[in-house]
Structure 1
Amino acid sequence: MNAEFMQAFEQLGREKGISTEILFDAIEAALISAYKRNFASAQNVRVSLDRTTGEIHVYARKAVTDDVKDSRLDISLEDAKKIDPRFELEDVIELEVTPKNFGRIAAQTAKQVVVQRIREAERGIIYEEFSNREGDIVTGIIQRIEQKNVFIDLGKAEATLAPSEQIVGESYRQWDRVKTYITEVRKTTKGPQILVSRTHPGLLKRLFELEVPEIHDGVVEIKSVSREPGMRSKIAVYSRDENVDPVGACVGHKGMRVQTIVNELRGEKIDIVKWSPDPAKYIANALSPAKVVDVEINELEKISKVVVPDFQLSLAIGKEGQNARLAAKLTGWKIDIKSESQAAMLT
């Protein structure tokens, strides 16, 4: 290998963010294997690669001993002293054994090593980048669909949207742009595997952070999210500034902010409720859009009894119990809902 070859390696290493010393060490290690493979040698060898000129030298390393068992690994003290009188027993002597045609093999080996190391480095960089983005939203283009798995091009990498992370009834077509939530990044031999979701509650939270500046700036805080993907969600919000209405900020002018998120989630209904440190108020808010007459709470068992007007009972419970179920998940309280008539009969 010549000097130009070495300069090219150094430049490539810098461009790909790989230490040139690490690169050259890897080439030397690969050249040892190449030497043993091509010259059928069981010798203990060292390869020296000149960082400037590209010159390569192969040295056989032999132990100085008074009992030579294998001439490829050992050398007698007598023969060692013929080379240099200063050698003693247990010293290691190096003898150059560079083959004449080793340059071509070396260049080919070095190229393979560089390509492999660059690939490994790029995979490492991509892994670090995306592993730091777990719990974040990414936008990509659907490349293909195989066995119900949706593969999304993120630019530098590809993400996998598994069937279990897809919204039921949502259709995915090639070349569509789609927002997903990174749930996990795994390191594999083929590079990083990025797993994404459309059903995770974190997706809803991140979408609000993108759309609502007050949330991004920390003025409005998302306290809790409960979600039945593709159907309905509830989100509890709180304002650190008494002059800022947290629900209004999330809804936006004429509902534009929340509508953008609804559109992104293909029509999923979203209830935005005001969080309260008072469990009774919080539970009443969580049952929105139903109006609540009274809330009794049992702090010890974390059970609440809620009374609603007779005509609001079905609304409070929701279709197949969805509204009550989402409210319970949002607040962390078990909610028992009764109408005013039912409550009166129990008293």
Structure 2
Amino acid sequence: MEEVPQECPGTGSAQAGRGASCQGCPNQRLCASGAGAAPDPAIEEIKEKMKTVKHKILVLSGKGGVGKSTLSAHLAHGLAEDENTQVALLDIDICGPSVPKIMGLEGEQVHQSGSGWSPVYVEDNLGVMSVGFLLSSPDDAVIWRGPRKNGMIKQFLRDVDWGEVDYLIVDTPPGTSDEHLSVVQYLSAANIDGVVIVTTPQEVSLQDVRKEINFCHKVKLPLIGVVENMSSFVCPRCKKESQIFPPTTGGAEAMCQDLQIPLLGRVPLDPQIGKSCDKGQSFLTDAPDSPATLAYRSIIQRVRAFCHRHPSHEEEQRSTS
């Protein structure tokens, strides 16, 4: 049996979608359609636009429903607690945009200015962009094929007037599909600082997370680490800890040790998290003493430290010039 190379040639390669390692890849046709063609001019335009954004963080998950958008929102809330830090949250979950609801921005509309689309602001230093702002109703279904999704992501990155931003957090859909390839390709020249991957403790979730980690390695995305959501539940009355999703294979900790990647933290179940998200409020301020809040804050601190240890491409250019 012929051995298949494990290395992905990358979306910008002439071999994209055509190499031996591309056989069987679900995105083979998408990559092959652009292989050998002239580089998309939007990549350079986006690079220019992103010069005002210091750090770019992607939040990924293998499965849906593991709390990825919730983590993205609270990562943004936590970083924006420093009034001197400008934060942007971009929701590219085109078919399931939950960020407007979680951030308390349902019903808001995108406004156009001379410099492009303006984000919708939660606070003066926290701006949000989502396809949810372009729908006439939160119940509207987005029934788009890949090219239209990719075009929307391109617009978000190229045409939104983000301004001077310290952190851009990108909330992605589950899996490794068109949206992920698009954001990696369009930000390839602008440099992505790293990826936070969200999971729950059970093996059915970890299985998909391993695929996500493999995807990151293949497209050369730096891994900041893994967050284990819903790790346990502490009863507010008796304080007894229960495992709602038993870690049959050791949970995220065992997986991270096996793959030699950082475990950023475990966030316990707290019913108040769901309530805060439904109300569009920050759980960090609603329940400041919750063990889940302490876990979130520790994760946020580790993400901030990672970004500061790995200066952005623009900062590196400034320091060497």
TM-score normalized by the length of structure 1: 0.22
TM-score normalized by the length of structure 2: 0.23
| Bigger proportion of residues as strand | 1
Structure number with higher relative contact order (C-alpha < 8 Å, ≥ 6 residues apart) = 2
